[in-house]
Amino acid sequence: MSEDDLVIRPEVRFRDVHERGLDFPEARRKGIEKATRKLHALETMAVNIYKYEITRKHKPLNTNLVAAMANEMTHLQDFQTKLYEYGLRPRKTRFAFWMVGFSLGTGSRLLGPRRILTTNIWAEKKAVAEYQHFLRDVDWDEETRQLVAKDGSDEERHVERWTRILEEMS
């Protein structure tokens, strides 16, 4: 599959949204709660990193940043939906993640395209590690596990894309 054929925003149908975990033991629910809240907060940060790296210039890097932002917005929606399906709410401290994303995005934009790419590679590698950790250690329901795996796979593709673009700049 070429990069042009990658799905940025998968379709979600009404039947895909439903209550989850009602009969789960408390320990299982706690693991899901902690992981889902963290992933939601991290995706908030990722959206802002990309949002604040985008400049007004018409350049291929901006097109890639917009596509990555759109994909991260999908992840954010995925985890916000999961939170509410489990009867949970986002972290009260998620604003701090918003601010970190703003700071990293604005700072890297001011330092130029190479810094944008190195920041994105660093952030996406951290995301890949978190997704792998949560896939390994959290007892998700099967539908949510598949979603976490898909979103984690997207993060791996982001690392590959940013790495390739950085290498092409050299």
Question: Residue type for 161, please?
Answer: R
Give me the residue spans of the domains in the chain.
27-169
pLDDT tens per residue across all 170 residues of the chain: 566 667 888 889 999 999 999 999 999 999 999 999 999 999 999 999 999 999 999 999 999 999 999 999 999 999 999 999 999 999 999 999 999 999 999 999 999 999 999 999 999 999 999 999 999 999 999 999 999 999 999 999 999 999 999 999 98
Give the Å distances, CA to CA, from 62 to 34, 49, 133, 152.
33, 13, 31, 23
Residues contacting 93, CB < 8 A, separation 6+: 41
Q: What is the pTM of this model?
A: 0.93
The verdict on domain 27-169 having CATH code 1.10.150.170 is no
Nearest 5 degrees, angle CA 57-CA 62-CA 68?
160
